[in-house]
Amino acid sequence: MKLSHLTDHALFFDTKSLVIHERSVVLKLLYHLKEIDRRKLYSDYKCSSLFDFCVRELGYSEASAQRRIVAARMLQDIPEIGPKLKAGKLTLTNISQVNQFYKNHSPEEKKEILQEVEGLSKRECEKKLFDLSGKENKPVEKQKRLSKDQVQVAIVLSDKTLEKIERLKSLLGQDLSMDELVLYMATEAIKNVEKTKFKTTEKPRSSLSPAKVGRVVPAGVKRDIYLRDKKCTNCGSIHRLNFDHRIPYARGGPTNKENLRLLCFHCNQRARMRAGLGVSPPP
Ligand SMILES: [Zn+2]
């Protein structure tokens, strides 16, 4: 198509109609993402989350993926934003900004705020949100790579957290840098969680009496599976790992090393849906 042959008038109206079409495609896409999220379909593509799926499978930049996911999830609670997005009264950016300022507020409250920011540019919207929320400055947590093996992290801590860090410093009685201190805390916390959740103790019991073995995984089996798998066996995520029966326990699948595997929360839920079992509440 040679655009140089179009009249100014035709060029203007073609562009206007493309924008209308673009908005309706974006809205359709959001509904698709919402349904993919509900089914946790991303797990079938070895993705650990909808965000991971949008970036790796659909090719969005991280920021674009984030904006679309926020809007898709908000459509779930506030369906009224659909027609407004289509009409151009709201943008993905406005929705994302409102969500950032009012993260823990109810859908009703968010709906009211969204009405206030209709038709505003990104900057105008941000000004309005500062004004409405009464916030002076929103906490920003940023990461910036300084070298091959060093990242600068800006975090916002409450007084309570800071007091605990100071207490730990004085208990350890060593002059540790913040990096050494965080490494110490993370190492100890990982040991603790691995011990309680995955039974990585020195001498775990390898089995329970047959009467007690049901869907309860004996400590020794937990430990072996954790040390064997270490991460979600479907998508590779290390977040919210659960023990999953490959053949569901409800279908007679045994509670043993061969039938058990580690899955992250989302892959576990997807596996349950595919097996025709209901989803369980988040741990
Ligand atoms: Zn997974």
Say how many Å lie between the CA of residue 61 and the centre of ligand 1. Answer: 21
d(CA 23, CA 14): 14
Q: What is the pLDDT of residue 206?
A: 53
Highest mean pLDDT among 16-30, 95-109, 133-147, 173-187: 16-30
Mean pLDDT of 189-218: 71
Residue located via tokens 């011990």:
195
**Cα(82) to centroid(ligand 1), Å:** 31
CATH no. for 179-283: 1.10.30
Domain boundaries, the chain: 8-133, 179-283
Query: Tens digits of per-residue pLDDT, 15-73?
Result: 999 999 999 999 999 999 999 999 999 999 999 999 999 999 999 999 999 999 999 99
Residues 6+ apart with CB under 8 A from 71: 30, 81, 85, 92, 95, 96
pLDDT score of 248 more than 50: yes
Measured in Å, residue 47 CA sits from the centre of ligand 1 at: 7
Rounded to the nearest angstrom, the distance between the alpha carbon of 126 and the centre of ligand 1 is 36
| Cα 43 to middle of ligand 1, angstroms | 6
Q: What is the whole-number distance in angstroms between the Cα of residue 91 and the centre of ligand 1?
A: 32
Reported as a pLDDT band with limits 50, 70 and 90, residue 211 is very low
- pLDDT at residue 49, rounded to an integer: 95
Question: For 154-188, what is each residue's pLDDT tens digit?
Answer: 888 888 888 888 888 878 777 778 888 888 899 98
Ligand 1: distance of its center to the CA of 215 in Å?
21
